[in-house]
Structure 1
Amino acid sequence: MALISKNKMVIYVLVAMMIVFAAGCGSSTDTRSDSADSQAQTNSDTTTSDAAPAEKVDLTISAAASMTDALNDIKKTYETANPNIELSFNFGGSGALQKQIEQGAPADLFLSAAVKNMKPLVENNLIAEGKEKTLLKNELVAVVPENGKAAVAGMEDLDKADVKKVAIGIPESVPAGNYAKEALTNVKLWDALQSKMVQAKDVRQVLQYVETGNADAGFVYKTDALTSSKVNIAFTVDPASYSVVEYPIGIIKATKHSKEAEDFYNYLQSKASLDVFLKYGFTAAE
């Protein structure tokens, strides 16, 4: 009987050990299962994150008023192809825009109608290094109202009695006005026309003055004249009488969106953009 009891005891111990072992295996399996489920959830979360739409970026571009129509055309195409980008334009006289940038106004790119307004920004380290170049060229013309009565065919006609008002951009802040002043000075008419001068904040305001008959003639770029059915080009100003009209572009060093700004900077130099500029009367820089 003692032998049988001892054998039973051994059997009980073995059974107990098997039960404990089985329980441990089950726990390990559950742990691996829980770990796999957790990893699957992590992978799922990562996939969801990767598929999330890109953050919206608002780029602010300070640009010469004479580029208004061309840039608004480019804006439509670019935003359609890059739905996470919104282009906000600040149009005005290049001199005024230069001052705004110097005073810390927010901007990501600057498109000027004169090298003289870009150069100080480059020299003062406000333009990103190596991210500035001349993009376009333009030419100066004199326009008259579509139904204007004054006969204007050349610079000398602006001094005639039937020409009462001549519109011009403020020479100190509007490149087109400065170019016009150069040309008028070269033909010795600047001083003679002072009593007739009506100064405007940018070239588009000059165009408006002529369109509405508030000026009998005005100096604008060829590109501006081509946008209006309310004016006629009276004559093209002799290009030898004023500085070459060049449009430099540059990325503002303080931009908070350097990659997006550079992408748009490069796009403005692409064939697609140049074709739009050419359509509006600009010529590509050599």
Structure 2
Amino acid sequence: MRTRPIPMLCGAFMLTLLLALPAFAQELTVSAAASLTDAFDAAKAAFESKHEGVTIVINYGSSGALFRQIEQGAPVDVFAAANPKWMDRAEEAGLVEPETRTDFARNTLVLTTPAENSAGIAKAADLLEDHVERIAMGTPETVPAGQYARESLVMLGYWDTLAFKYIYAENVRAVLDYLRRGEVDAGFVYRTDAMQGGEEVAIIEEMPLKNPVTYPIAIMKESGNKELAARFIDFLGSDEGMAILEEYGFSRP
């Protein structure tokens, strides 16, 4: 009886395996607000561990920048924004499946300083002091955390008075970096981001807002993997998914 050499057998087996892989491998592309980075990285790992062959690719950025990428045709299956505004824009543009839209988490906006707090800031009113010179926030036009910061400062009557002190950043994580490096006197970030700053960042106080900071999520109309997208969104709303979000400082919607 003729036998095939071991290398040939291995080669034939590997070829069969490679040909079979595309039938099982699935990739889900998620565009998510920068403030979700740590929580979504953990959720991604947990979800992938339960779904063999599934890979989740996450693109993080400011919600406004992500919306513009999607608007320009970026291939995305799921969009998770840091406020309703950009999801509203996506829905109005016909980019999402409206029946899949849901709020999955909440956050709070906080005034923070570098850990040493050399400016001695104890409350928002202290930002008016002359020795406080640099206040960081996300660009309000594209960054939800910046939009919330502007809303809060307008409510307090400080917005125009402090205008010359603002240092704008492309997303909330860039504000956190300014704080960590001590390049600003104060900054506005979400509580979840401040938590990731650890001992390098001090939370001074929670800022007042008209409405809670809510995070909507939805499946894109052009998604080629809507069933898997729905499973990922369901996972985020499950007890396990919510436990991950809460571990990183988010609360239930």
In structure 2, distance between residues paired with 1:158 and 1:134 = 33
How far apart are the structure 2 equivalents of 1:271 and 1:112?
Answer: 21
What is the CA RMSD across the aligned residues, in angstroms? Answer: 1.7
Aligned to 1:71: 40
Alpha-carbon displacement from aligned partner over 1:170-229 (angstroms, at most 9, x marks no partner)? 000001100100111111111111111100000000011111011110000011111112
Match of 2:206 in 1: 236
Structure-2 separation of matches of 1:244 and 1:119: 16
Q: What SS does the aligned partner of 1:235 have?
A: strand
Paired residue for 1:190? Answer: 159
Q: Shift of residue 244 of structure 1?
A: 2.0
Match of 2:233 in 1: 265
Q: Does 1:114 align with 2:61?
A: no
State the AA in 1 paired with 2:245: F
Aligned-partner Cα distance in 1 for 2:158–2:144: 19
Q: Which residue of 2 aligns with 1:279?
A: 247
Partners of 1:261 and 1:187 lie apart in 2 by 41
**In structure 1, C-alpha distance between the alignment counterparts of 2:141 and 2:98, rounded to whole Å:** 27
Q: CA deviation at 1:162?
A: 2.2
Letter of the aligned partner of 1:274 in structure 2? M
- 1:222 matched to 2:187: no
Alignment of 1:13-162 (within 5 A): 52=20, 54-162=23-131
- Cα distance in 2 for partners of 1:226, 1:65 equals 14
Inter-CA distance 129–187: structure 2 relative to 1 (3 Å threshold): closer
Q: Offset of 1:234 from its aligned partner?
A: 1.1
CA contact (8 A) 1:58 1:86 kept: yes
| Unaligned residue ranges in structure 1 (runs of 5+) | 1-47
Q: Distance in 2 between matches of 1:267 and 1:235?
A: 32
1:208 paired residue among 157, 177, 180: 177
- Structure 2 unmatched runs, 5+: 1-15
Residues 110, 251 of structure 1: 8 Å contact kept: yes
Tell me which of 212, 215, 225 is aligned to 1:247: 215
In structure 2, what residue type is equivalent to 1:137? R
CA distance in 2, matches of 1:228, 1:204: 10
Q: Is the contact between residue 117 and residue 202 of structure 2 (CA under 8 Å) also seen in structure 1?
A: no
The 1:129–1:237 alpha-carbon spacing in structure 2 relative to 1, beyond 3 Å, is closer
Structure 2 residue matching 1:172: 3-state secondary structure: coil
Q: Tell me the matched-pair count.
A: 235
Q: Residue 138 of structure 2 is aligned with which of 158, 169, 176?
A: 169
User: Is the 8 Å Cα contact of residues 111 and 189 (structure 2) preserved in structure 1?
Assistant: yes
**Superposed displacement of residue 242, structure 1:** 3.7
Deviation at 1:124, TM superposition (A): 2.4
Looking at structure 1, the residues matched to 109 and 98 of structure 2 have their Cα atoms a distance apart, in angstroms, of: 31
Question: SS where residue 268 of structure 1 aligns?
Answer: helix
The sequence identity of aligned pairs, in percent, is: 39
The secondary structure found in structure 1 opposite 2:58 is strand
